[in-house]
Amino acid sequence: MKKMKWMGGFLTVSLLSAALAGCGGGKEPATEGKAGEAGKGDPQKLVISTWGFSEDFFRKEVYEPFEKEHNVKIVVEIGNNAERLNKIRQGSSQVDLVYLSDYYAQQGIDAGLFEPIDRSKIPNIDHIYDIAKAPLGEEYGPAYTIGQFGIAYNPNVIKTEVKSWSDLWKPELVGKLTLPNITSTTGPMLLDAASQAAGSQEFNEDQAFAKVKEVNPGVVKYYDKTSEYVNMFSQEEIAVGPIMEMYFKDIQAAVPEAKFVTPEEGGYAVMNTVNIVKGSKQKELAEAFINWQLSREVQEKAAKAKVDSPVNKEVQLSEEEAKGVTYGSEVINKLHKLDMKFVNEHSKAWIDRWNREIAQ
């Protein structure tokens, strides 16, 4: 029986969530001036690989101020995690800096494809939550945002209060419940929550699958995309289920009375990381950019715009500004952090078992 300790906040270690290959060939060498030396010679180029959401915000509030300060031209490559990771692995990219979810970033680390960072060049790391400082190891990049995976429900339909992961197994939720598919980012988090609901103090795969099989008859659908969840919720096909807090605003737009709950056992940390690609000729400039991304100025603007939840502890938000944002030490310190290396090692076996035992 496979077991694993939990961690995160009051926990001691837990489970969850395209490899890269070195790149750097073909990059334009830096011209005059180093990071921080604006106005000297032609602009340097920094290539950033990211998802492409909130492009106007990032261009105006993150990229342009950095370009001006550091005499640099930022070029952005857009795509999902797997696409961008594969592109770098295949050597068809000139990326210096890559934004990835922790699940995919761990794959890059396992392949030895990130540059070790110099933390002395990124002093703002000292101002972020401990869970975000080195989510995948001290040599690698920090998380620049942390969301949480919790539970949303419609109190007009679900008359009983939902406050715990174990509440998802209540009989009154039968036929009103959705859960994430095992292949989704949060699928392994559901397994860990099921293990908890089964009463295990350490992750227990057999108990987790048995618990999911127990609730299976009451599940309307195992969703793959958040848009599926939002659509089902707005049409009252479902009335409860786990979801990332960052999408709750979309749910509430359709169902204003909807509630988001951080389970009493704690939610799950959903972390996006930023790393320097091996072979980059712009390592110092990339470290300066990471430091800028972690600054109170950028973090606060992103939080107030509902773009990203902040990791900088100095960010101050009003109650209204904090709605739909994972914010504050009380919430952050209780989040479960999944071990991405463990997840990557076991994900194929879990998917195979899920297909045999759950998705029948």
204 in a structural domain: yes
pLDDT in tens, 18-28: 333 333 333 33
Q: Are residues 256 and 279 in the same domain?
A: no
Give me the half-sphere count of Cα atoms (radius 13 Å) on the Cβ side of residue 126. Answer: 5
**DSSP readout, 160-226?**
S---SGGGGG-GGGTTSEEEE-TTSTTHHHHHHHHHHHTT-SSEEHHHHHHHHHHHGGGEEEEESSH
C-beta neighbour count of 150 within 10 angstroms: 22
Q: Are residues 248 and 351 in the same domain?
A: yes
Residue 259's domain comprises 147-268+341-357
Q: Are residues 203 and 153 in the same domain?
A: yes
Query: 218, 167 in Cβ contact below 8 A?
Result: no
What does the alpha-carbon distance between residue 334 and residue 348 come to, in Å, rounded to a whole number?
29
Residue 131, phi then psi, degrees to nearest 5: -65, -25
Q: Are residues 199 and 264 in the same domain?
A: yes
Q: How confident is the model at residue 41, as a pLDDT?
A: 79
pLDDT in tens, 88-134: 999 878 999 999 999 999 999 998 889 999 999 999 999 999 999 99
Greater model confidence, 237 or 4: 237
pLDDT in tens, 231-280: 999 999 999 999 999 899 899 999 999 999 999 999 999 999 999 999 99
* Paired tokens of 238: 């479902």
**DSSP readout, 83-142?**
HHHHHHHTT----SEEEEEHHHHHHHHHTT-BPPP-GGG-GGGGGB-HHHH-TT-TTSPP
7 in a structural domain: no
Q: How confident is the model at residue 40, as a pLDDT?
A: 64
Its pTM stands at 0.82
Q: How confident is the model at residue 9, as a pLDDT?
A: 34
9 in a structural domain: no
Confidence of residue 13 (pLDDT cuts 50, 70, 90): very low
Q: Are residues 31 and 154 in the same domain?
A: no
Q: Are residues 136 and 175 in the same domain?
A: no
Counting beta carbons within 10 angstroms of the beta carbon of residue 349, is it exposed (0 to 12), middle (13 to 18) or buried (19 or more)?
A: exposed
100 in a structural domain: yes
24 in a structural domain: yes
Q: Are strands 7-8 and 219-223 parallel, antiparallel or unpaired?
A: unpaired
- Across 190-215, b (16+ Cβ under 10 Å) vs e yields bbbbbbbbbebebbbbebbbebbeeb
246 in a structural domain: yes
Q: Are residues 61 and 85 in the same domain?
A: yes
Q: How confident is the model at residue 288, as a pLDDT?
A: 98
334 in a structural domain: no
Q: Are residues 263 and 203 in the same domain?
A: yes
- Domains identified in the chain, total number: 2
Identify the CATH number of the domain in which residue 313 sits: 3.40.190.10
Residues 6+ apart with CB under 8 A from 269: 8, 131, 146, 147, 148, 149, 335, 336, 337, 338
Residue 83 identity (one-letter amino acid):
E
Q: Are residues 140 and 201 in the same domain?
A: no
Q: Are residues 118 and 230 in the same domain?
A: no
Q: Are residues 97 and 206 in the same domain?
A: no
Q: Are residues 219 and 290 in the same domain?
A: no
12 in a structural domain: no
Q: How confident is the model at residue 37, as a pLDDT?
A: 54
Q: How confident is the model at residue 35, as a pLDDT?
A: 55
